[in-house]
Structure 1
Amino acid sequence: MPPTGLEPTRMNRKKGDKGFESPRPYKLTHQVVCINNINFQRKSVVGFVELTIFPTVTNLNRIKLNSKQCRIYRVRVNDLEAAFIYNDPTLEVCHNESKQRNLNYFSNAYAAAVSAVDPDAGNGELCIKVPSELWKHVDELKVLKIHINFSLDQPKGGLHFVVPSIEGSMAERGAHVFSCGYQNSTRFWFPCVDSYSELCTWKLEFTVDAAMVAVSNGDLVETVYTHDMRKKTFHYMLTIPTAASNISLAIGPFEILVDPYMHEVTHFCLPQLLPLLKHTTSYLHEVFEFYEEILTCRYPYSCFKTVFIDEAYVEVAAYASMSIFSTNLLHSAMIIDETPLTRRCLAQSLAQQFFGCFISRMSWSDEWVLKGISGYIYGLWMKKTFGVNEYRHWIKEELDRIVAYELKTGGVLLHPIFGGGKEKDNPASHLHFSIKHPHTLSWEYYTMFQCKAHLVMRLIENRISMEFMLQVFNKLLSLASTASSQKFQSHMWSQMLVSTSGFLKSISNVSGKDIQPLIKQWVDQSGVVKFYGSFAFNRKRNVLELEIKQDYTSPGTQKYVGPLKVTVQELDGSFNHTLQIEENSLKHDIPCHSKSRRNKKKKIPLMNGEEVDMDLSAMDADSPLLWIRIDPDMSVLRKVEFEQADFMWQYQLRYERDVVAQQESILALEKFPTPASRLALTDILEQEQCFYRVRMSACFCLAKIANSMVSTWTGPPAMKSLFTRMFCCKTCPNIVKTNNFMSFQSYFLQKTMPVAMALLRDVHNLCPKEVLTFILDLIKYNDNRKNKFSDNYYRAEMIDALANSVTPAVSVNNEVRTLDNLNPDVRLILEEITRFLNMEKLLPSYRHTITVSCLRAIRVLQKNGHVPSDPALFKSYAEYGHFVDIRIAALEAVVDYTKVDRSYEELQWLLNMIQTDPVPYVRHKILNMLTKNPPFTKNMESPLCNEALVDQLWKLMNSGTSHDWRLRCGAVDLYFTLFGLSRPSCLPLPELGLVLNLKEKKAVLNPTIIPEAIAGTQETTSNPGSHAQLVAFQNPFSNSQDEEEIDMDTVHDSQAFISHHLNMLERPSTPGLSKYRPTTSRSLTSQHSSGCDGTPSTKPQWSMELARKGTGKEQAPLEMSMHPVAAAPLSVFAKESASSKHSEHHHHHHHEHKKKKKKHKHKHKHKHKHDSKDKDKEPFAFSSPASGRIIFFIQL
């Protein structure tokens, strides 16, 4: 047994440092995970865990842990049998709300349900009662060992089994299983404290068949075979304190490769893939060397393992001392396009080993620090490996992505701090989901969150310098490394947790600079900056009059006040100016350094010191300005729309050496279709020194300009002569040379130019015959025999080019298209696609890129009316068993068909796949594609929008996706896209609802049916105290809607009805009231029972029915079980069996009472209270199960 960290009385009490205050009344120091039976046939797991904890309070009588899906057999504390309860409110978010379809309502209820089991709030699904025999032991703060036996049967999340349906043993079939999930999802496969802030040491044991290999975290201590040699047990030890969320597992018949450059690194892959594994991982040691050099710190673990598996949840998943990758990243030396992508994935995973696995976070609001640092050092690796141009292009791409997303959705907040429940404290009122917890986030939002985090780290680097930045990282790693070696002082482990305040304090100590304004601007508030710029040159004063406006009223924008760099390229050189953007300043005068001297022949100095000759004939005779750039270093998260003359953009494209400036020029020149623009773009295409991505962008811009100039265009089609000169035989210009991809820049240009050329159109808006013939010749004469690289991506691009050449069919008298009456050009295209598809079945290409392009091309032909629109082909390719890229391409076509043809049948087929497909990634992608290309939206009339679809999607997100956080959030995104926040318009009118406030003498509409304009304004915020989640449950709509006043005269007739129910509150036969209600309480509870810690249960009123679902009776809560207990939520602990019987008796008594009083037929929706203040404020609720009944919410 390893050291377990003693001295509980000293927890979190380091002198001079508050440290990390745990939300739990105990400290976990060690955990054993033993899985002793894995059945691939049944997809089941049996095992146990043992947690070593130290109480930090003397009255600890309840221990809350996280566990989902697990069937708990037995719980023992210090070898004594312990009672336990399992309650997971996220299994079904909204209970007994059959008429409720309001997304605002669901999002609040879901956020509250997640908070109710959030380990960072000290909660959990599994609540264990400490045996009374140990109370004295606990009072002395002595160690407790919790032993839990559990099993998993066909898990839907957390563990993913891949069992191919072929003959042979499991090892021969390549069957394997691996852990997966979004954020902290370890609870899905064993009981634990599933928090990134609860660190402990680990012992991991896995018993598997002799042909299998188990890979897990830490060092492999030993492998022990059974006597019959049929099974073996892998023993792993992880002595560095690690969060349960960073524990992982992969079991399969893996082939093993010890890294030849670093023997502590081991790689694992599925059978027959070892040659690809050797090539793919041959570069990894260089990534290690780079990170260790810049961080001046050794890799923190004693070993590192990479495991490549099939049907991956994400391409890269980093865990402590190991990473799990998709097997689709493996490639040979012949593949060009995949190589940089895979290397980037390896580098990302290794960056997260330092920041994310070794150094963890204190709370969800500190996540941005870890994602920011790992993304930042990954960016430094990219700059060193691929060059400054690639790095700046990546930064520009990331900036454009986050700007577009924030302007579309309303903003991404990196450091959400939750206030005391007031509406103004809600940081994300513009979103349809809560940002208080990672498990309620949209996947797209979380992706953009990570993107923004590393961009902000770059802004901090600009402020304090890279040298200081790396010193800060080194300090964090040094402190964590020291803390991790303190085996007997587990209170020191909090140094391995990073917080926002601790990170900022380190920056201040190391650099001596105050970056608080920067943090306030970009971390503590959401939104980006939107600049509009224009200028005029004042010849008399020789001054540039620059006008910069801001739009800070649109969604997703914020006002920027601070420095802004402007670069002006003049005749005498390039000059940087720093403007101070103030509250109301719009115009800025910038003095020019040079006079207009067009006639003087002199080389012009550029920003990089280079001097070049320029043809100045195009520029303004009176102005010395060549071009102007706003914020060239991207030191503000912004969108810039700047107006300058076309010749200035052309000069900028030709002579500015920054790739970002060139990309901006190309984008701007699309608006200036002139011969001069054409010439500038052509010059860029011919410049071999120009960055290849800029040249690729120039191809598409030139195609757009050519189409705009179609009536005046002279000469051959754009790019044709250039392509012929570069890549075709000199004697036969229509025959392409034998492929030679040794120059990667030429290769990328060669496969991009035909795709762009295919977008050209003549005066009749058709692709010129000359271009189509040219592309067909490229395909016909393609020869890869002497090339050392594969041409599969090149051939796929040629198919994409054929698809781009397709234009809408012109039908005569609505004739039906058949193969006989096909347009001759389209017939040629279809023949090529068919030939490629057939060849793919005989000689599959790498990642089936040809098939993917063919499927997309066929869909283009369908949409343009050349072939009958039929999804049957795509549905066959989308079935489980095909390669995942093929499936995604086919599903994309079905989604598009569903939208264009408004097919309810295909929509149902897609929704069925979301629920039943074996691959989590595919289910997620279908939801994502439906959200981005929806069959209809909330503002459209569509035959697809009906009550059955609403019920189906509601059920999907309410209970059908509880096993996968990412999938559930995807379902919420789709529901929002289709129906918005309010009740879907296709549903019948809801029950009439009034809320009566007897103190203020006013009534308001039932908040669940208020229109979206009102309802969609705010999510609930709850008190940050220990019972925050309960407050959210009490009234999911507090502060989320504006109140709509109603005259009290309209409800006077109802007062007798209300009075009757108020009188019933005092009756002793009201369920639960006589036993549980405090004398000061005014709460109404239909069945009240105490929670694990003696406080009212955290379950909402709609989840109390689950324990007796379908029976009409309340089952007696479980005290303790020696038999298997299904992982279905049980209401509460029963303090004693008599009380549960008493409660049940009251329930039935009240049931009979309702039968007699049919005219007052009602149910009590109960809401638990914490203290008398909250109780006084909370409204009582009465609802009717029958549609059309009046509901009154009485607020006293």
Structure 2
Amino acid sequence: MIKLNSKQCRIYRVRVNDLEAPFLYNDPTLEVCHHESKQRNLNYFSSAYTAAVSAVDPDAGHGELVIKVPSELWKQGDDLKVLKVYIEFSLDQPKGGLHFVVPDVEGSMAERGAHVFGSCDGKMKIFSCHRFWFPCVDSYSELCTWKLEFTVDASMVAVSCGDLVETIYTHDMRKKTFHYVLPIPTAAPNISLAVGPFEILVDPYMHEVTHFCLPQLLPLLKHSMSYLHEIFEFYEEILTCRYPYSCFKTVFVDEAYVQVSSYASMSIFSTNLLHSAMIIDQTPQTRRCLAQALAQQFFGCFISRMSWADEWVLKGISGYIYGLYLKKTFGVNEYRHWIKEELDKIVEYELKMGGVLLHPTFSGGKEKDNPTPHLHFSIKHPHTLSWEYYKMFQCKAHLVMRLIENRISMEFMLQVFNKLLSLASTASSQKYQSHMWSQMLLSTHAFLKSISNVSGKDIGPLIKQWVDQSSVVKFFGSFAFNRKRNVLELEIRQDYTSSGTQKYVGPIKVTVQELDGSFNHMLQIEENSLKHDIPCHSKSRRNKKKKIPLMNGEEVDMDLSAMDADSPLLWIRIDPDMSILRKVEFEQADFMWQYQLRYERDVVAQEEAISALEKFPTPASRLALTDILEQEQCFYKVRMQACFCLAKIANAMVSTWQGPPAMKSLFTRMFCCKSCPNIVKTNNFINFQSYFLQKTMPVAMALLRDGQNICPKDVLNFILDLIKYNDNRKNKFSDNYYRADLIEALTNSLTPAMSINNEVRTVDNLNADVRLILEEITRFLNMEKLLPSFRNTITISCLRAIRQLQKNGHIPSDPSLFKSYAQYGHFVDLRIAALEALVDYTRVERSSAELQWLLSMAQNDPVHYVRHKILGMLCKNPPFTKTTDSALCNEALVDQLWKFMNSGTSHDWRLRCDAVNLYYMLFGLTRPSCLPLPELGLVLNLKEKKAVLNPTIKPELGVGAPDPVSLGVCGVGQPPQGLKRKADTPLGSPPEPGQVLQQQDDDGRGARYKIRVRHEDIDMETVHDSQAFIHHHLNLLERPSTPGTHTHTHTHTHTHTHTLIAEYRNTHTHHCRGHYIHVTSYKQALDNKKKPAKPGSVRRTSTSAGRG
């Protein structure tokens, strides 16, 4: 048998070595739960989906397409004979894999910019979906060389992986065929295609690099790609290895699945990344995307993974070298800020959702000890993962690589990467020795072995802590200074009992800034140790005038009047290098946080100090934050964060605040005319740090509130003046992001409307200030119609402002405006903003109509990305949750979502996982509460030959406990451990997720069977179908059992039938769906036929109308 992956493809014929070969096609993921049971719990679906994906898993040797090799070929007896498989197939209106963009305008296909491209997830490398458009072994571990031919219209260009060797026109010159050859062994998921009327740009710095874009975008393409060669040079320099392919192609398309998709020797980007030289904000984002794509060319495309369990290695390495590029291009401050952001994201996710496991271990095809019981999805396959989980997986992987670097040094780390690339390059040149290609597949074991060989260091404990285990560490720190002993008594506690936390034992670095300098201390966190004594090097001498040395060697003058006279401590930091995946909550005095903010040069320390000062609304904190805002040497993102902290402190000090509103005088001094402080200077964004600060300060100022919790009048007038006098005529850069932020400032100034006698709000009776805001928003929207801004940033801000006006009761809530902007045809960012407002409207107004409208769009919108975002926004801002009651929660909604994720998303792995997330958010793991209770049933005891009415069904259990309703089994009699089941679930249903059929001896009576459900046993001898029993006769047990085969005929109206058959020589049959059931006790069956069949002989059959 030859098993291949193929979805959506219509297979016409298959030949193996020119011989016709029979084949079978079965795709169990088309409909996950085949039978028409009333199961609606997510535990059941998750297990069924995992089983369906496992059944076609190429890494396990499975596939949807099974080809039987003709017997003539086996008779030749040549084990090394090459089998050539020829498959004739077609794609008819594919829903996934390939995405067609055909603008609805006049003109030919080329004039309309129609194009098609592989719409798989090429950046995250999570969903291998190439089976959607051609039969293949859709695995990252199966390598081969490629010859690709694409025949397209003469006006089109086909771009694919490898070298373009020739282009041949047909005789009538109406079509042409592109021939590509990829001699480097490559997995099918790293192959892609793009066809369209592309304009072509050969990179002026590297002629082997070619760029493709849609018509009329060539000027933007030239600017956006002008620095790509610098990224090439950086990676080749640090890796001491040349780019592995002979060429590189970048293709920019519309309606991209993700912003960046990397494939062998080519990357597909979203057109939205292109920008002109006038745009500031988009430039770093585009550079980052290019750097990510190129990093994955080395690790992800050229070097692939051995198995799914090794995915973390490739994501970690590519993310790590991408971080090195950030440090080189954007500076150390930006790099450390990014690391802190990534660390905060993974910590927040794991503490909220549970641990992220990088290297899950599996045995026997099943998850070992269920490594992630806290999740509502399986991590055994990438196709069952939540998209958000995988993003956190990727984030954690590169953070762990950084921890490895801290352990072995960057020099050794880069040597390991070079060794891996060198071995892969050597292997790729072995054209006729494919067994050597395994060097191009990277496993966790091989990676750790390379580290050991190169560095000679054992990182086993680190891997065990952060790779083989999930969760993060949560520290709580406090201290006391012992003056007599001149010792810092530091207490570090851990919380390792909460969700997503683990216990840490090992070294931790503590930095103490004293009067005589900064000192590092390595402490050992032991099992039971909490307190640590740290000797101080300084003694209190605050009255002595002396400069204080900092960690970076700089010496500064400090005003020590605020510090404790008896203590030499200025500030303390726990794990300043972020060498542990942790959250630290440290307690120190407010003046210590203020000193840390002012004088610590590390941006992470400054950001931590700003966050801590929010709890200390004092004049000293206000002064420290103001000083940071005025420091031009300070990292601009720290200053931006300080703006919002200062606004919070000002609001907490509103009763004692003196002087002008916070930041107003500073903004006036920095950006306004000296002769007329209310008029802002003509825009000049040549200084990017000042530009970002100028954008941020009005947004933060608008959050200020007076004693009546209203934005101060002079602040609102000041923002309106900034809009009024904004002048960008002499500026070389666009001000669209600046104007969008001014609209956001207006939005932030809004407060709930004060209603008198419940009067209906109209435009006529608007508050004067609100009227001014609404007029400005209307003017901006009208201007955008005439002259749209880059990426419609201003319109997006206006929509958010209108939604905020509605929520605060200033104007009537109406979704029609947002619906119009959410329609297909608008720019994607604008659509997402409108949909976000609709999701919020649905939650606030509890609108069933709008929820249905959103779900309909999630199912039918032409753009994959928009469908994905709708479900993601509904998960983040759900109309209701499993813990709340809502009129929106009803049986129809349950059925709609269930059918959507069960059979409506088979063409899009990501969308199906999004639908699962939404179902979990709304209804939880167990049976939705809005469904009607199971009907009454009978409990049947064969031993006593009694039928007892069962008026109560056991309530569903929480997560982690067996769920009787969802298990589909019925326990009987007096034993308390007997589990009950839904009355409408047939006895003959197949074993449900988590059930294992096993043999058990029972007092010498012969063999009987048990179902093991997680950790509980249910005797098959006590499992019966009460619902079917109701439809038959209560005296059925009085009838004698007849040896032999018993058959009852019943017409089934269901499309799918599943039967669980326990085979004996005496046939023991249950008709699942019919109104009749024949029950023969196992003991009686054994008495009739002495020897049972082989224990555990279970056959599961599935037939579907219209399917072979």
TM over 0.5: yes
AA in 2 matched with 1:1011: L
State yes or no: 1:497 paired with 2:441: yes
Whole-angstrom distance in 1 between the partners of 2:764 and 2:1097: 73
The secondary structure found in structure 1 opposite 2:84 is strand
Q: Answer whether contact 2:362 2:368 (CA < 8 A) is retained.
A: no
State yes or no: 1:388 paired with 2:332: yes
Alignment of 1:479-494 (within 5 A): 479-494=423-438
| Partner residue, 1:1083 | none
The secondary structure found in structure 2 opposite 1:783 is coil
Shift of 1:1013: 4.0
| Partner residue, 1:1119 | none
Compared CA separation, residues 903 and 1046, structure 1 to 2 (3 A): farther
Shift of 1:389: 0.1
AA in 1 matched with 2:329: T
| Partner residue, 1:57 | none
Q: Answer whether contact 1:418 1:426 (CA < 8 A) is retained.
A: no
| Partner residue, 1:92 | 31
Whole-angstrom distance in 2 between the partners of 1:876 and 1:641: 46
AA in 2 matched with 1:856: R
Shift of 1:1109: 7.1
Whole-angstrom distance in 1 between the partners of 2:90 and 2:764: 62
Compared CA separation, residues 370 and 421, structure 1 to 2 (3 A): closer
Which residue of the other structure, out of 1024, 1028, 1045, is the alignment partner of 1:1067? Answer: 1045
Whole-angstrom distance in 1 between the partners of 2:63 and 2:870: 31
Shift of 1:989: 1.3
Alignment of 1:1024-1173 (within 5 A): 1034-1038=991-995, 1041=1014, 1043=1016, 1067=1045, 1158-1160=1075-1077
| Partner residue, 1:1102 | none
Tell me the TM-score normalized by structure 1. Answer: 0.83
Whole-angstrom distance in 1 between the partners of 2:72 and 2:375: 50
Whole-angstrom distance in 1 between the partners of 2:929 and 2:562: 58
Whole-angstrom distance in 1 between the partners of 2:930 and 2:471: 34
The secondary structure found in structure 2 opposite 1:204 is strand
Gaps of 5+ in 2: 122-126, 968-988, 996-1011, 1060-1066, 1081-1090, 1103-1108
The secondary structure found in structure 2 opposite 1:565 is strand
Compared CA separation, residues 692 and 1175, structure 1 to 2 (3 A): farther
| Partner residue, 1:116 | 55
AA in 1 matched with 2:48: A
| Partner residue, 1:909 | 853
Which residue of the other structure, out of 524, 548, 553, is the alignment partner of 1:604? Answer: 548
The secondary structure found in structure 1 opposite 2:262 is strand
Whole-angstrom distance in 1 between the partners of 2:451 and 2:954: 47
AA in 2 matched with 1:625: L
Whole-angstrom distance in 2 between the partners of 1:875 and 1:1161: 57
Shift of 1:1067: 1.6
Whole-angstrom distance in 1 between the partners of 2:410 and 2:248: 28
State yes or no: 1:456 paired with 2:413: no
Whole-angstrom distance in 2 between the partners of 1:509 and 1:663: 39
Deviations 1:1033-1067 (A, max 9, x none): 85412366554989999999989999899979952
| Partner residue, 1:278 | 222
Which residue of the other structure, out of 897, 910, 929, is the alignment partner of 2:841? Answer: 897
State yes or no: 1:711 paired with 2:689: no
Whole-angstrom distance in 1 between the partners of 2:58 and 2:111: 41
Gaps of 5+ in 1: 1-61, 1021-1031, 1072-1085, 1088-1104, 1115-1130, 1132-1146, 1164-1171, 1184-1196
How many equivalent pairs are there? 1034
State yes or no: 1:104 paired with 2:48: no
The secondary structure found in structure 2 opposite 1:784 is coil
Tell me the TM-score normalized by structure 2. Answer: 0.89
| Partner residue, 2:984 | none
Q: Answer whether contact 1:419 1:425 (CA < 8 A) is retained.
A: no
State yes or no: 1:802 paired with 2:746: yes
- Structure 1 range deviating more: 1038-1047 or 74-83: 1038-1047
Compared CA separation, residues 1052 and 273, structure 1 to 2 (3 A): closer
| Partner residue, 2:1009 | none
AA in 1 matched with 2:29: T
Which residue of the other structure, out of 821, 826, 835, is the alignment partner of 2:779? Answer: 835
Q: Answer whether contact 2:36 2:1054 (CA < 8 A) is retained.
A: no
Compared CA separation, residues 950 and 657, structure 1 to 2 (3 A): same
Compared CA separation, residues 1047 and 359, structure 1 to 2 (3 A): closer
Compared CA separation, residues 1158 and 849, structure 1 to 2 (3 A): closer
AA in 1 matched with 2:958: E
Whole-angstrom distance in 1 between the partners of 2:640 and 2:804: 23
Shift of 1:137: 3.3
Alignment of 1:457-476 (within 5 A): 457-476=401-420
Whole-angstrom distance in 1 between the partners of 2:941 and 2:158: 62
| Partner residue, 1:318 | 262
Q: Answer whether contact 2:44 2:992 (CA < 8 A) is retained.
A: no
State yes or no: 1:928 paired with 2:872: yes
Whole-angstrom distance in 1 between the partners of 2:1046 and 2:431: 57
State yes or no: 1:76 paired with 2:54: no
Compared CA separation, residues 789 and 81, structure 1 to 2 (3 A): same
Which residue of the other structure, out of 335, 341, 345, is the alignment partner of 1:401? Answer: 345
AA in 1 matched with 2:694: Q
Shift of 1:1012: 3.1
State yes or no: 1:988 paired with 2:945: no
| Partner residue, 1:147 | 86
AA in 1 matched with 2:617: P
AA in 2 matched with 1:1067: T
AA in 1 matched with 2:222: K
State yes or no: 1:1011 paired with 2:970: no
Whole-angstrom distance in 2 between the partners of 1:1058 and 1:293: 82
Compared CA separation, residues 1035 and 368, structure 1 to 2 (3 A): same
Whole-angstrom distance in 1 between the partners of 2:783 and 2:860: 32
Q: Answer whether contact 1:983 1:1011 (CA < 8 A) is retained.
A: no
Whole-angstrom distance in 1 between the partners of 2:494 and 2:208: 54
Compared CA separation, residues 83 and 873, structure 1 to 2 (3 A): same
Q: Answer whether contact 1:855 1:889 (CA < 8 A) is retained.
A: yes
The secondary structure found in structure 2 opposite 1:540 is coil
State yes or no: 1:507 paired with 2:451: yes
Whole-angstrom distance in 2 between the partners of 1:153 and 1:918: 16
Whole-angstrom distance in 2 between the partners of 1:407 and 1:760: 31
Shift of 1:128: 0.5
Q: Answer whether contact 1:1005 1:1044 (CA < 8 A) is retained.
A: no
Q: Answer whether contact 1:203 1:235 (CA < 8 A) is retained.
A: yes
Q: Answer whether contact 1:419 1:426 (CA < 8 A) is retained.
A: no
Deviations 1:1089-1118 (A, max 9, x none): xxxxxxxxxxxxxxxx9xx975x999xxxx
Whole-angstrom distance in 2 between the partners of 1:450 and 1:613: 44
Whole-angstrom distance in 1 between the partners of 2:572 and 2:430: 57
Shift of 1:191: 0.2
Q: Answer whether contact 2:475 2:582 (CA < 8 A) is retained.
A: yes
AA in 2 matched with 1:513: K
Whole-angstrom distance in 2 between the partners of 1:1064 and 1:346: 75
Deviations 1:951-970 (A, max 9, x none): 00000000000100000000
| Partner residue, 1:1120 | none
Which residue of the other structure, out of 447, 455, 463, is the alignment partner of 1:519? Answer: 463
| Partner residue, 1:972 | 916
| Partner residue, 2:694 | 750
Compared CA separation, residues 74 and 386, structure 1 to 2 (3 A): same
Whole-angstrom distance in 1 between the partners of 2:951 and 2:1040: 20
Q: Which has the higher contact order (CA 8 A, sep 6+)?
A: 1
Whole-angstrom distance in 2 between the partners of 1:237 and 1:481: 18
The secondary structure found in structure 2 opposite 1:1012 is coil
Whole-angstrom distance in 1 between the partners of 2:722 and 2:462: 53
Shift of 1:425: 1.4
Q: Answer whether contact 1:410 1:430 (CA < 8 A) is retained.
A: yes
Which residue of the other structure, out of 174, 177, 198, is the alignment partner of 2:113? Answer: 174
State yes or no: 1:160 paired with 2:99: yes
| Partner residue, 1:957 | 901
Shift of 1:1176: 3.5
Shift of 1:133: 1.6
Whole-angstrom distance in 1 between the partners of 2:250 and 2:1044: 65
Compared CA separation, residues 615 and 1058, structure 1 to 2 (3 A): farther
The secondary structure found in structure 1 opposite 2:480 is strand
Compared CA separation, residues 423 and 384, structure 1 to 2 (3 A): closer
Compared CA separation, residues 417 and 725, structure 1 to 2 (3 A): same
Q: Answer whether contact 1:1005 1:1043 (CA < 8 A) is retained.
A: no
CA RMSD of aligned residues (A): 3.2
| Partner residue, 2:576 | 632
Shift of 1:78: 0.7
Shift of 1:1160: 3.1
| Partner residue, 1:650 | 594
